[in-house]
Structures are given as structure tokens and as C-alpha cells.
Amino acid sequence: MDIGFIGCGLIGGSLIKSLDKNAAHNIHFFDTDPDTVKKVENSTHARFMESMDALKNLDVVFVCLHPVKTIEFIKSNVSNFKKGAIVSDVCGVKQSIADAVEDLLIQNGINYVGIHPMAGREFSGFDYAVDNLFENAYFIIAEPKNGADISPLKQIAKDCRFKSIVVTTAKKHDEIIAFTSQLAHVVSNAYIKSPTALLQCGFSAGSFLDMTRVAYLNENMWTELFMMNKESLCTEIQTIINHLEEYKTAMENGDKEKLKSLLKDGRELKEKTNAER
């Protein structure tokens, strides 16, 4: 396949490196940063796209930009995409992207299929892209409205060594991701704001590191993601607030048995989720 990548940050760059290592596709890319372009060319066999006319030759195009920029790029290049091609994005929300571009692409004979590679690191940019980022990770595909063939994306996922492929709806993806990813970033970011955080040196270990890892985020991208999925995310935030109030109330009331019961419930749910992975 002729596969293109628009944007070579952590996800786009890691997809390029993984395909370059494990498969024999023709990989093309575009990035606005000259230094990134040089790094991609020096570390992979991917070819730089001199202009967007090159999109006409690509079977699959992954737009690996922040959500708003993703929508803008797709809309502005509708006339450049190859008829029958798959245009995809790697954003952490799917419904808002689909609502903005899917009908437009279908009307122009182009297929839109949103994906979400469930992998990441604390840092962003091509410098942190690696060829094994997706090993043991999930590759989520949002079902296309027009029933487009998603087998090329499944093949790419296999080539990148993803652990498993999950096909779902954009709506269901956003509802679940609000809990599994977005809430974790909100909680971590709020947790680190305690005044005690400045006194933690010498008193912290694995728990602190685990809780604060994703507080180190790109506020521009995550603001877009949160706002595009605010209904589901606000529901999850309210849910965790309610549960925290239960623990707080039990301790304020000196209710040892209630506190123990709450902790036991949480442990058992964690054991259940571990077994289901």
C-alpha cells in the first residue's frame, strides 16, 4: 500500500517507524517542521511529500495532528485525496471528528475511518517516537458510516504489532475513553496541585510517580480533546467526585467498617479488570 502521514509527532512518527521496520509499504509523510523532516528522512525510508498533490497517489492517509488542525486539514484537502482512499485520524476523540468530516468525504468519493492507537508516552514529538510503541497495545477502529472496507487498516495494525484490534462506534469509543484515558489525565493534573506536592522529595515512590505521570501533558491538545468530549468526561468527573465523598464521609464519621468496605469494593473491581484485560 501507499500510506501517507500528515504530522510526525509521537504517534505519527511511531507508526512510520513501526511500518518501516516491520512491513514493505510505500510510506510518505509531511510535516511543517524542517528539523523533523530531516530526522524522519535520516531514520526511515519514508519519502517527504513536496506538495499536497501527492495525496492523490495514496491509498491510506493518516492525519496525525491535534483535533482542530485535523479537521481543518481534511476539509482543506478534500479535492486532493484519491477517490476511494481511506482518510483516517488518530485523535483521542472520534465522534466530533466524524461529525465534522465524514459526510464531506463520502460526498467526494472518499472513505473516512477514524482510529485510536491506545499507546503513548509522557513526551511528544518525533524525538520520542519508537518502532515498538504499539506492541501489546489496542488499535481501535470506529465503524465508518458508509460501510467502507476497513481491512487495510487492520493490516496496518497487524504490521505495527498491535496486540488486538477493537471495532466499535465513535459514540461508544468516546464514552469509554472518557473514563480510561481522559479522566486519568484530569485526576493526575488535579492531584499534583496539592501544596504538599512541593514537599514530596524524599517521601515519594511508585505510587506518586504512577499518579502524576500523565499530569505532564500538552495542555493545548488535551483542552481540545476534553471540550470535544465534555459530556462524557463531566459524567466521569462527577462519578469520581461522588466516590471520593464516600471515603471522606466515612473517615469524618469514624466509620471504620464503611471505609473498609469501600476499599474492598475498589480492590475487587481492580482484580476483575485485571482478569478481563
pLDDT single digits (tens) 28-72: 999 999 999 999 999 999 999 999 999 999 999 999 999 999 999
d(CA 25, CA 59): 11
Say whether domain 2-168 belongs to CATH 3.40.1280.10. no
To the nearest whole percent, how much of the chain has pLDDT over 90? Answer: 92
- State yes or no: pLDDT of 122 exceeds 80: no
Instruction: Write out the CATH class of domain 174-276.
Output: mainly alpha
Residue 201: predicted pLDDT: 85
What confidence tier does 277 reach under pLDDT thresholds 50, 70, 90? low
Average pLDDT over residues 229-246: 98
What confidence tier does 231 reach under pLDDT thresholds 50, 70, 90? very high
Query: Could you state, in order of their start, the residue ranges of all structural domains in the chain?
Result: 2-168, 174-276
User: Do 120 and 144 contact (CB within 8 A), yes or no?
Assistant: no
- State yes or no: pLDDT of 113 exceeds 80: yes
Output the CA–CA distances (angstroms, integers) from residue 136 to 118, 142, 274, 277, in the order listed. Answer: 10, 20, 15, 11
> What are the residues whose beta carbons fall under 8 Å from the beta carbon of 20, sequence distance 6 or more?
27, 44, 45, 46, 131
Residue 274: predicted pLDDT: 87
Query: Which pTM does this prediction carry?
Result: 0.92
Average pLDDT over residues 176-198: 96
